[in-house]
Every structure is written in C-alpha cells, then in structure tokens.
C-alpha cells in the first residue's frame, strides 16, 4: 500500500534531503571519500620533503614528492568543485520542490485565511525564507560528512605524528561544543523576531503599493513613510542584535581555535629543542592542525545555517498550517454531474470573531430557474452567494445542490457544475485569450492529460465575445497591433488590398473624418516632425522624443533652412500657452490645444521670461532644444491656439523630400517611409488600412470608420484573423491595461464560455454602462434561459425577468416572490425600487 505523503506544512526540513536526490547524495559521499584522502596526503608529503628529500639532499625525491604533493592539491581542488556542483543541484532542485509544493498548498487555503494574510507575507515566505532551507538541503550531507571524515583523518594523522600533541590539540573542542549551542540559542531567538519583523515589513510594502491610489488621493505620503520607517527602525534593532549573537558564535569559535596553536608552539617547540620531535614532524603537525580548523569551521557554519534556515522554515510552515476547508478532488470517482436545483435550509455564516453575516436563510430554486438576490447595503447578499458557491464554508444549516451537501462536495465537484463571476473580477497577467480560456483550460487540464486539449474553438470564443460586448475592444486591440512579418507574412498583401478597397469605397465618404496620407500634401492632423519624417523610425535616435537632440537631424534642419522658423514657432507657442493657460489648473483638458504638457508648464514660464530679454540666438542650446521640441510636436489640426504659417508649411514640404533623399543615402535602415504600395510593419494594422489619421475622436465618427473597416475585413475573410491577433493583447498585471468595464465583460465572457449548469453572478455588471448591462441581461434571459442563475443585482429594474426575487436585510431573507408580486405587496422590495416607504 502506498504511503500517504503528509501535507507540506507538516514536513520537517530534514525530510527534504533525500526524496528525489538519493543518487546525487550517494555520489557526493563517494566523491568525499576520495577528497578526504587528497586533503590529508599533502601533509604527509610535507613531512617527507623535509625529513627525507631536504635532510638527505636527494633532488630526485624532492621532485617526486613535490609532484605528488601538487597532484594531490589539484585533485582535491577538482573534487571540491565537483562537490559544490552536486550541492548546488541538490539545493536548487529541493528549493524548487519546496516552493511548488507550498504554493500548491497555499492555493487551497480558505478565503478567510487571505483576509488576514497579506500577499507580502506569502511572497516573503516563498521567495526568501525557503531559500536558506534549500541551501541546507544541498549541504546537509556533503558538508557534515566531509568535515567529520576530514576531522577524523587529520586527528588520526596527528596521533600518528605525536599522541601528546594530538591530545593537546583536541582537548579544546569539548569546551567549544558546550559554549556554542548556548550562544546559538540566543541567536535563534533574535532570528525569530527578525523573521516576524521582515514579514511585517513585506506586508506594509504590499499594502502601500496596492493602495497607492488612496495615498495619492489623500496626499498621505508622510503618514505612510512614517509607518514604514517605524517598522524599518524596529527591524534595524532586531537585525543588529541577531548579527551580534551570530558573530559572537563565530568569534568564540575562532578564539578557541587560535588558542590551540599557542599550546602546540609551546609544547612542540620544547620537544623539538630537546630533540624529542623531528623538525619535519613539527612542521607537518602544525600544517595538519591548521587543516583541522577548516572542517571544524565548516561544521560551525553549517550548524549556523541549519539553525537560521530551520527558524525561517518552521515559521513559514507553521503560519500556513491551516487545513483546507474542502477536498480538492474526489477519490475513486469522477466529479459529480449534478442536477443543479438548489435547497437552502436554516443557513448561517459567522466570522471567526463570531459576527453573524447571515442566519436563518431558507430558500429553494428549481433547476433552470433564475433567482435575483437584492437588498440593502450590507444585507449579506454576496455572503449568501459565496456560501452557495462554496467560496465560504457556512457555519450552520445546509445548502443542497442536486441533493448533495455543498460542504461535503470537493472543489472539483463544484467547479464542474458551478460558475462564479465576482463584482471586482481578477484578471490575470497574460493575454486576452489566456483570461478568456482560463476556466475552460483549468477543467480541460484536470479532465485530460494536462495539456489543455479540447478547448473551445475560435468561433466559440468570438461568439461569447460578441454576446458580452467585448468583441469591439478585442477587434480594436487587433487593429492597433503591429503585424509580425514572419508569423503573419501572408496577411500583409491582404491588408494592402483592404487599404485599396477602403480608399476606393469609403475615401470620399469619410474625407471629413480621416486625413489620408499624401506625399504632396501637408498633413494638418500630424505633427511637424511626422510631416518631415513621413515614415516610422526604425532607430531610437530618430524617434519623436529624440529628434530635438539628434545631431544628424539638427544638421538637416540647418541645411533645409528650418531651424530658425521652428525656433520662432516654438517661441510663439510657448508665449501663447503661458499667457492663456499659465494660471489654470494643470489638467490635461485645458492643454489639449497646446503641444506643451501640464507638467512642463513651469519650466516654459521661465523660458518665456528669458525670451523677454534675449533673442533666439542668445538662448542656451538646452533652451533652444526645448523650443524645438514644442515646435516639432505642433499639430495644426489639434493645437489651434495659433495657425500654421504658410511659409513654414512650404518649407516643411520641401524639407520632407530633402530629408528622404539624404537619409536614404546616408542611413537607409533608419526610417521606413510611408508608401501606399507597401505594407509598413512599423505601423499598426489600423494605420496601414486607414493610410491616414482620424481628424476627430468623436464617437459617431469612430463608429463610421470602424463599420467601414469591419465590412471590408469580412469581405476579405480577415475579421477572425484580426480578432485572433487582438486576443494576444497583453492585459498587464491585474488587467491594468483594461478599463473596469472591459475587465468585467471579460470575466463574464470567461464564465459564459465555460457554460456551467449553475452560474452565480455577484453584482457582475456593476461597472458596465446601461447599454452593456442590457446586453448581458438579454443574454441571461435568452441564451442562458435553461441555466440555473443566481444573481446579486444592484439595478432593480433588471429583476423583472427573473423567476424569483429574494429581498435581504440584516443577514436574513425578508421577502421572496416575482417582481410583480413584490411590487404589489408594497413591502421592502417596493421601498427599494421606489424609494418610498
């Protein structure tokens, strides 16, 4: 019968030494045996070199013994390196296993555990505290075996040379073995405080970074710094005490070790002077004694490593030693295929502090029916939904799904039958596709071979994106992507055809909304730098930000007679911005018609003051660069505080041709020029199709452009390919590159794609606008009509289509019925809907 492995939090640190490392540990012992001989052998060669080769004046013996000495030293060094390599393999492999096993266990802990546990503590435990435990596993056999065998070998050799001196050398070690553990006990006590303080510091950092919006919103920088500083100061004191005790251990050990040579010099010197000890034997004895200290020091360091790492290891395992509330997988059977009718009887849930959040809940719902949970703020709606979905383990009563007690079901049983969408859903770092398929991938890996086979097709994914209203966003991500010229080499010519069709079919109709690229025309909705370059920089030095400092570009401006007019334009833009916007709040709304950003305003105020007393040529190169930067940003179609001078416009058009001619000859790889006959891989797919820039950001104009492009993509059978590219959009940590509404729609799409028998939605549409919310509700009412739906609802007008409405207050259900029945009753629900008692 297979022995059951204890939970990772119950395992001792030494229990990690052999599992998975037996062959390496055996190998290290074999290498050590040879290494010990190679370390002792040179000492004997020293004695023979002095007593036989030198004393007898035999050159041949001298060469032989010296070469044997050298060979032993080289062999010992090589074997020591091999031992270190094996130790590293063992320690890193063990550390990886520790981290994986503990992380897997942490993921199964109850949600209540994470309410009181900051992510910083989890990070600190997994990343830092386990690190020294992994090092211990690598050294656990190699260091003590090497050190002990070396100590024994040298001790035997010392007794061989002179028993009296050997006894004097070894007599100090019992004292060390008595004193060192006493000091280490103090060091361990300080180390425990260090571990706790370090975790507190990690939690404080995590909390501050997570709440950075509140810190900025309340200007509480000094308050948070004070809290952080207090913890750092406390940790400073603890670390000093801990370090002093640790160094005390080493200093005490060194003192006793240095005491032994004193005795050897005294007694051995006396014996040598009186002819009772050969000089070669004394030299060999001193060398052997010095070598004796090395393994002893290694043992002391290993002892300290064991003590320090064991403190951190035990602290971590003890903290996470919380049993999971539910079994993860069923044993001996497949997950249940439940009839998802719901029966709730006398349900109660209380926190660890004894605060009752819900109590006395009685509720029933037939399979395939829709239930809306509504109520006053804090009434327990979300808690009830989470108890039904097994996210919280209820403390009283019963919840039956398909006649099975939810508390007795495994997690696998629940996730195979129930889907859950939270009010603030978590979006994982990765792509849109990764997050959309998250639930389906989890089920597929559990049911299949771990490779995620049998996932929904791209058509199914697109369908659910359309149902939830996130399809236009994903399409936009695809259109705004840069096309990989190798991966999508077949798409470039197709997109070129779409571009031609777009200009042919919609060019005239959309002329008021799009400024199409034309090499002979000035582009009023592009900046001056974009007009001059008329392409995309392939080298960083030619990017918009670096152009004002690009030596080659500045020389070109002089050649094209453009530098002076641009400085004049920059001067005028700076004056106008300071005069008009100088006293307004630094809000981007006010600065939309200026190429100067709000945070730059103060520096340009100083520059404008200088311009009152200086001519343009008298300004410093830095100030001229700032004027040039503003001028190159100037986009006449957007920055309307001044007009575009006709003379400058003509100079820019002439400069465009000159720049292309010069850069093509001097550095042809620097710029990819705009060419209607070529696909530009440095431009987005959208820009390649438009071959121009939108003149306005108004919603109706954008919708007309999008509608035209989608029509052409469908005609070219390209729509799915663009959406597929959009699915690879990286959403960022916690989905921070998506809006709140996009995150919520993606989470709903994730649940819809999983298509569970029962779907629990906890205010899942709270971040959506009315139109998006209506779309989701329509899907629930039609496509999900046969599913069992439990929805915590914040917009009461949507409850009209639900089969039952349950009204909650103070943790209890006080009314149930249909929308019409509850309105007619004129009770609590009527009050919620009308605001009248």
Q: Tell me phi and psi for residue 28, to 5 degrees.
A: -70, -35
Q: What was the pLDDT predicted at 160?
A: 72
Radius of gyration of the chain (CA): 38
- Half-sphere exposure (Cβ direction) of 464: Cα atoms closer than 13 Å: 22
- C-alpha distances (whole Å) from 72 to each of 41, 64, 85, 547 are 7, 12, 20, 65
**What is the predicted pLDDT for the residue at 432?**
93
Contact in structure between 388 and 342 (CB atoms under 8 Å): yes
Three-state DSSP class for 681?
A: coil
Rounded CA separation 654/646 (Å): 13
DSSP code of residue 482? B
Dmax (CA) of the chain: 121
User: Which residues, other chains included, contact 580 with Cβ-Cβ below 8 Å and sequence gap of 6+?
Assistant: 594, 641
Neighbours of 230 (CB within 10 A): 11
In this structure, what token pair is assigned to residue 319? 């903290």
Contacts of 357 (CB under 8 A, 6+ apart): 349, 350, 351, 380, 383, 811
Q: From CA 283, how far away is CA 499, in angstroms rounded?
A: 90
pLDDT value for 450: 47
Q: Which stretches in the chain have pLDDT values below 70?
A: 1-4, 154-155, 157-158, 161-162, 164-177, 206-207, 209-221, 250, 253-294, 296, 447-453, 836-837
First to last CA, the chain: 68
Q: How open is the CA angle 75-81-84, to the nearest 5 degrees? A: 140
User: Collapsing DSSP states into helix, strand and coil, what is residue 514?
Assistant: strand
Per DSSP, what are the bridge partners of residue 672?
A: 536
Q: Hey, which residues does 345 pair with through a beta bridge?
A: 398
3-state SS track over 309-321? HHHHHHHHHHHCC
Output the pLDDT for position 443: 86
Length of the chain: 837
What pLDDT is recorded for position 66? 84
Residue 536 backbone dihedrals phi, psi, to 5 degrees? -125, 135
Enter the DSSP assignment of 409: S
Asked if 323 and 406 touch (Cβ cutoff 8 Å), the reply is: no
H-state helical runs in 458-518: 458-468, 471-479, 491-506
Q: How far apart are CA 634 and CA 529, in angstroms?
A: 8
Q: Which residues of 595-623 are buried (b: 16+ CB within 10 A; e: fewer)?
A: bbebebbeebeebbeebeeeeeeebeeeb
Give pTM, 2 decimals.
0.76
pLDDT at 664: 92
Task: Label residue 94 exposed, middle or buried (CB < 10 Å: 0-12, 13-18, 19+).
Answer: buried
Write down the residue that tokens 């998506």 correspond to: 738
Task: With residue 805 as reference, give the H or E element that holds it.
Answer: strand 804-809
Please report where in the chains the tokens 């599992």 appear, as a residue.
19
The Cβ of residue 318 has, within 10 Å, a number of other Cβ atoms equal to: 9
Structure-token match 């990819």, residue found: 672
Asked if residues 816 and 805 have their Cβ atoms less than 8 Å apart, the reply is yes
As a whole number of angstroms, the distance between CA 375 and CA 811 comes to 10
Q: Can you read off the two tokens belonging to residue 575?
A: 């004056």
Which residue has 């830092």 as its token pair?
128
d(C-alpha 755, C-alpha 757), whole Å: 7
Strands 788-792 and 758-762: parallel
Query: Can you tell me the distance from the alpha carbon of 8 to that of 522, in angstroms, rounded to the nearest whole number?
Result: 69
Among candidate residues 92, 93, 79, the one with its CA nearest the CA of residue 30: 79
Task: Please work out, in degrees rounded to the nearest 5, the angle formed at the alpha carbon of residue 162 by the alpha carbons of 161 and 166.
Answer: 105
H helical segments located in 601-645: 601-611, 621-633
Q: Is residue 718 within 8 Å of residue 492, measured between CB atoms?
A: no
Beta bridge partners of 152: none
Q: Is the dihedral of CA 101, 103, 104, 105 positive or negative?
A: positive
User: Which among 689, 675, 683 is positioned nearest to 505, based on CA atoms?
Assistant: 689
The pLDDT value recorded for residue 656 is 94
What is the spatial distance between Cα 85 and Cα 809, in angstroms, rounded to a whole number?
A: 65
According to DSSP, the β-strands at 396-401 and 404-405 are: antiparallel
* Per-residue burial over 472-505, b = 16 or more CB atoms within 10 Å of its CB, e = otherwise: ebbbbbbbebebeeeebeebbebbbebbebbbee
CA distance 589 to 456: 44
Task: Supply the angle between the helices 740-754 and 458-468 in degrees, to the nearest 10.
Answer: 130
CA 638 remoteness from chain centre: 38
SS3 353: coil
| Sheet strands (E) in 215-365 | 342-350, 356-365
In this predicted structure, what is the pLDDT of residue 305? Answer: 78
Identify whether the C-beta of residue 805 lies closer than 8 Å to the C-beta of residue 829: yes
CA 420 to chain centre: 24
Q: Which pLDDT does position 1 carry in this prediction? A: 39
The helix, strand and coil proportions of the chain, stated in percent and rounded to the nearest 5, come to: 60, 10, 30
State the DSSP code for 431: B
Structure confidence at residue 171 (pLDDT) = 63
The DSSP element (H or E) to which 61 belongs, if any, is helix 59-107
Whose structure tokens read 């307004």?
A: 584
- Burial class (CB within 10 angstroms; exposed 0-12, middle 13-18, buried 19+) of 157: buried
């Amino acid at each position: 019968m297979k022995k059951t492995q204890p939970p990772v939090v119950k395992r001792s640190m030494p229990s990690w030494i052999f599992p998975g490392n037996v062959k390496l540990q055996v190998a290290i012992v074999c290498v050590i045996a040879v290494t010990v001989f190679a370390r002792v052998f040179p000492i004997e060669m020293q004695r023979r070199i002095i007593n036989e080769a030198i004393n007898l004046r035999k050159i041949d013996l001298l060469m032989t013994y010296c070469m044997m000495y050298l060979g032993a030293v080289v062999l010992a060094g090589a074997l020591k390196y091999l031992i270190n390599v094996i130790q590293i393999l063992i320690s890193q492999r063990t550390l990886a296993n520790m981290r994986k096993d503990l992380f897997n266990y942490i993921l199964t802990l109850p949600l209540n555990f994470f309410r009181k546990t900051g992510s910083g503590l989890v990070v600190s435990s997994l990343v830092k505290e386990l690190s020294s435990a992994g090092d211990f596993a690598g050294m656990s056999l190699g260091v003590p075996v090497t050190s002990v065998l070396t100590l024994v070998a040298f001790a035997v050799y010392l007794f061989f040379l002179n028993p009296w001196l050997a006894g004097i050398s070894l007599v100090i070690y019992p004292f060390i073995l008595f004193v060192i553990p006493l000091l280490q006990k103090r060091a361990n006590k300080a180390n425990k405080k260090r571990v706790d303080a370090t975790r507190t510091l990690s939690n404080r950092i995590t909390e501050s970074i997570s709440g950075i919006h509140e810190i900025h919103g309340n200007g509480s920088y000094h308050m948070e710094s004070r809290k952080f500083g207090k913890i750092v100061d406390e940790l400073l004191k603890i670390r000093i005490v801990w370090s002093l005790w640790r160094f005390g251990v080493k200093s005490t050990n060194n003192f006793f070790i240095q005491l032994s040579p004193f005795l050897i010099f005294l007694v051995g010197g006396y014996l040598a002077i009186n002819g009772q000890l050969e000089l070669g034997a004394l030299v060999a004895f001193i060398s052997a004694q010095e070598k004796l200290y090395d393994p002893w020091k290694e043992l002391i360091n290993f002892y300290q490593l064991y003590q320090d790492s064991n403190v951190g290891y035990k602290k971590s395992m003890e903290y996470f030693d919380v049993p999971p509330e539910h079994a993860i997988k069923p044993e001996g059977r497949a997950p249940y295929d439940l009839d998802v009718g719901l029966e709730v009887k006398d349900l109660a849930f209380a926190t660890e502090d004894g605060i009752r959040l819900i109590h006395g809940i009685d509720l029933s719902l037939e399979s395939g029916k829709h239930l809306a949970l509504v109520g006053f703020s804090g009434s327990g709606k979300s808690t009830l939904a989470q108890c039904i979905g097994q996210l919280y383990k209820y403390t009283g009563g019963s919840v039956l799904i398909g006649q099975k007690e939810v508390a007795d079901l495994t997690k696998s049983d629940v996730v195979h039958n129930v889907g859950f969408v939270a009010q603030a859903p978590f979006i994982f770092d990765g792509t849109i596709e990764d997050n959309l398929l998250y639930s389906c991938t989890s089920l597929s890996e559990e049911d299949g071979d771990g490779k995620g086979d049998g996932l929904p097709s791209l058509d199914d994914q697109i369908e659910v994106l359309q149902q939830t209203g996130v399809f236009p966003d994903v399409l936009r991500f695809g259109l705004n992507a840069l096309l990989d010229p190798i991966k999508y080499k077949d798409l470039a010519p197709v997109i070129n055809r779409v571009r031609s069709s777009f200009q042919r079919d919609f060019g005239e109709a959309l002329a008021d909304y799009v400024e199409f690229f034309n090499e002979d025309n000035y582009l009023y909705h592009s900046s001056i730098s974009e007009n001059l370059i008329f392409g995309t920089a392939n080298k960083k030095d030619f990017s918009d930000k670096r152009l004002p400092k690009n030596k080659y570009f500045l020389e070109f401006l002089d050649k094209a007679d453009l530098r002076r007019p641009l400085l004049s334009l920059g001067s005028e833009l700076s004056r106008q911005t300071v005069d008009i916007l100088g006293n307004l709040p630094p809000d981007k709304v006010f600065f939309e018609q200026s190429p100067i950003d709000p945070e730059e305003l103060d520096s340009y105020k100083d520059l404008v003051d200088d311009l009152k007393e200086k001519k343009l040529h008298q300004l410093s190169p830095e100030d001229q660069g700032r004027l040039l930067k503003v001028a190159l940003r100037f986009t006449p179609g957007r920055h309307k505080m001044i007009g575009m001078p006709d003379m400058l416009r003509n100079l820019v058009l002439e400069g465009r041709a000159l720049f292309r001619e010069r850069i093509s000859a001097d550095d042809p790889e620097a710029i990819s020029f705009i060419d209607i006959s070529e696909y530009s891989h440095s431009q987005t797919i959208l820009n390649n199709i438009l071959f121009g820039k939108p003149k306005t950001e108004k919603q109706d104009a954008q919708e007309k452009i999008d509608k035209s492009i989608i029509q052409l993509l469908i005609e070219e059978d390209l729509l799915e390919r663009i959406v597929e590219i959009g699915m690879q959009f990286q959403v960022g940590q916690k989905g921070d590159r998506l809006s709140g509404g996009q995150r919520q729609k993606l989470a709903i799409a994730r649940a819809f794609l999983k298509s569970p028998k029962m779907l629990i939605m906890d205010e899942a549409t709270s971040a959506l606008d009315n139109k998006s919310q209506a779309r989701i509700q329509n899907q629930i009412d039609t496509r999900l009509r046969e599913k069992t739906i439990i929805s915590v609802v914040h917009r009461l007008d949507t409850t009209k289509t639900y089969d039952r409405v349950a009204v909650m207050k103070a943790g209890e259900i006080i009314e149930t019925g249909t929308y019409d029945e509850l309105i007619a009753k004129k009770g609590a629900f009527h009050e919620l809907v009308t605001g009248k008692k």
